[in-house]
Amino acid sequence: MRSFFYTLKQAFLQFGRNFNMGLASIFAITAMLLILSIFFIAAINVNMAAESIKGEYDSIQVYLTEEATETDVEMIMDDLKKTDGVSDVEYLSKEEAMKDFKKRWGDNGYLLDSLADNPLPNSIIITIGDLEKADAIAQKASKYGGVEDIKYYKDTVDKLLKVTRFIQLSAIVVMIFLIIVSIVVVSNTIKLTVFNRADEISIMKYVGATNWFIRGPFLVEGIIIGIISAAIALGLAALMYDRLIDALGDQMFSMLSMTMVPEKFLIYNLGWIFLALGVSIGASGSIISMRKFLNA
């Protein structure tokens, strides 16, 4: 217990002695975390938008010929239900399809009443559980007897999947880069403290102090820098996202019929991420800066 309080006391003393450099590290890490939060916020909202939009294209409509019998339809539906990637299969009669068509026309739906015959075909609606397998499902459905045509927004789905993957990959690359830069910044800051105490560290080693006893205060100093940076970055990110919701929230709903990720949910998760990153960056920077002096 005495060793713990000694380590904590030394960490705060070292931070005070090198306050300017510590402050520079805090600003640097805070800036990195803020940039990270921008990519995180963008990525999670774009993913949410992509999932919402994909929900509009997660189905394949199989149009049936007039000659398709009830037995044919049941056979097709039973086989499709067993297909990997299919979550649901539903029959849509031409009468139900016309009702839906009239609803889409709204006030002008009455114009369809003048049609002598219902031109819409009977169809089967396939709900896709895994969009990666949608193309294979569409190809399989087109080969059944009694199938006239397939309605499937393949190009739209493919583009959405590509955009989502690109954003996810870009966010990961940027996060890794920022984490490396932050570790280097903290490492250089702690290294200055180590240089100033080089003689003291040598004496402590001669009298038998363990590497971890010597490393402890520097490790805690790095963690303190990381925690302070995380707290500041989280507060600024919360303020920024709150302003963003006020400015774009209603427009997102009116244009895309979707809302942004709730602020409490996003900030709560971002807080844990920042805390983990802040502590890890601070600790890693301290350990790296001590390797030369402790031969560890």
Pair 285, 183: CB distance under 8 Å: yes
Q: How far, CA to CA in Å, does 242 sit from each of 192, 255, 261, 275?
A: 39, 20, 11, 20
For 232-252, letters b (16+ CB in 10 Å) and e give bbbeebbeebeeebeeeeeee
Q: Which stretch of 1-15, 171-185, 214-228, 274-288 has the lowest confidence by average pLDDT? A: 1-15
Pair 149, 80: CB distance under 8 Å: no
CB within 8 Å of 168: residues ≥ 6 apart: 43, 47
Q: Kindly state the percentage of the chain with pLDDT values over 70.
A: 70
Interval 274-292 mean pLDDT:
76
Helix, strand, or coil (residue 1) = coil
The predicted pLDDT at position 201 comes to 67
CB within 8 Å of 146: residues ≥ 6 apart: 64, 65, 67, 68, 69, 72, 73, 76
Q: What is the pLDDT of residues 139-174, one digit of tens each?
A: 888 888 888 888 877 666 677 677 777 877 887 888
Q: What is the pLDDT of residues 74-128, one digit of tens each?
A: 898 999 888 888 888 999 888 887 887 777 666 666 666 767 787 888 888 888 8
CB 68: neighbour CB atoms within 10 A? 19
pLDDT greater than 50 at residue 8: yes
This prediction's pTM: 0.58
Q: What is the mean pLDDT of the chain?
A: 76
CB 196: neighbour CB atoms within 10 A? 13
Q: What is the pLDDT of residues 15-50, one digit of tens each?
A: 666 667 677 778 878 888 888 888 888 777 777 766
CB 253: neighbour CB atoms within 10 A? 12
Any idea where the domains of the chain sit in the sequence? Answer: 2-53+158-294, 59-128
Pair 64, 149: CB distance under 8 Å: no
The CATH classification number of 59-128 equals 3.30.70.3040
